Amino acid sequence: MSERRILSRRAFLIGGATAVAGAGTAAWWAADRFLIPHVEVASVAAAEEASGTAVSETASTSSASTVSIETVTTGTGADTLTFFVAHVTLGDPTDLRTAFAHDQFGENVTQLVSEMAEAHGARFAVNGDYYGFRDTGIQVRNGVAYRDAGAREGLALYADGRAEIYDETATTAQALVDAGVWTTLSFGPALVRDGAVVEGVDEVEVDTNFGNHSIQGEQPRTAIGVIDATHLVFVVVDGREERYSRGATLPELAEIMQGLGVQTAYNLDGGGSSEMWFDGEVVNRPSNGGERATSDILYIGGAA
């Protein structure tokens, strides 16, 4: 009996040690996957310089580009919804640019939207697709291919102003660059296609990453819409704040975008990441109580 008890205790200790080791391994994996920076391109500026798409930090857009912002509030009480609409008229379609946190491309490299915007001489910016949270999705930015790992429905913005919702798994990053794509975004889903609301947006999952499995329900949102080659709209919906803004469902966001007259609209990263920045100030009220560090922005620099 005594021997049996000792063996049982030894087995417990060994099992406990294995459990602790397993927990440590899981914690390390989670930190490595979601927290520790993995830089793939150390200087995005150098990559753009080599490709010929680089611009001056203080002159990063045509002086003909303009931005105007309006605040919209609907509903009352617990049903109140507040969102911000930025109408952007571009001097040239390539005046819409993107920037990466700390001028680096890779997973878990993050920076505040305001810091990225100021570093690039922007006047207007919104959060992007938070590409650095995942290792999939085609990433072409400012005419440079950074990632070729098709996984979902993406948005391709061409240098001539065309916009296309496309299947990432049916092409490559280089093929898109060769076809004249200026920037791709990989989050979704598509909200409006050919002027019509896309059906089934409330059933889409962006990916199966822990912490990002579902994007449904009433949430803070960020979306980009294309009216024509040089007329874009950006919408940032606030949420998670009772009697100020409950947040929007994806079908509601699609209807908002359609109501603005867009031909194409695409959902970007939302939740605590949703942010609109203009003239040195955060326009909306991020649900985290302040800015959240993210991996990328869309911006207009030096707009009038």
Domain extent listing, the chain: 1-36, 40-301
Per-residue pLDDT tens digits for 241-292: 999 999 999 999 999 999 999 999 999 999 999 999 999 999 999 999 999 9
* Pick from 130, 125, 65: nearest CA to 283: 125
The C-alpha atoms of residue 107 and residue 296 are separated, in whole angstroms, by 11
Across 8-17, 46-55, 74-83, which has the greatest mean pLDDT?
74-83
Interacting residues of 116 by C-beta distance below 8 A, sequence separation 6+: 99, 100, 101, 122, 125, 296, 297, 299
Q: For the chain, what is the mean pLDDT? A: 88
Rounded to an integer, the average pLDDT of 213-229 is: 90
Rounded to an integer, the average pLDDT of 146-164 is: 97
- What strand order describes the sheet that includes 296-301? 97-100, 296-301, 122-127, 276-278, 281-282
Rounded to an integer, the average pLDDT of 150-169 is: 98
3-state SS record for 48-100: HHHHCCCCCCCCCCCCCCEEEEEEEEECCHHHCEEEEEEEEECCCHHHCEEEE
The C-alpha atoms of residue 199 and residue 186 are separated, in whole angstroms, by 19
Question: Mean pLDDT lowest for which of 73-77, 96-100, 197-201, 202-206?
Answer: 202-206
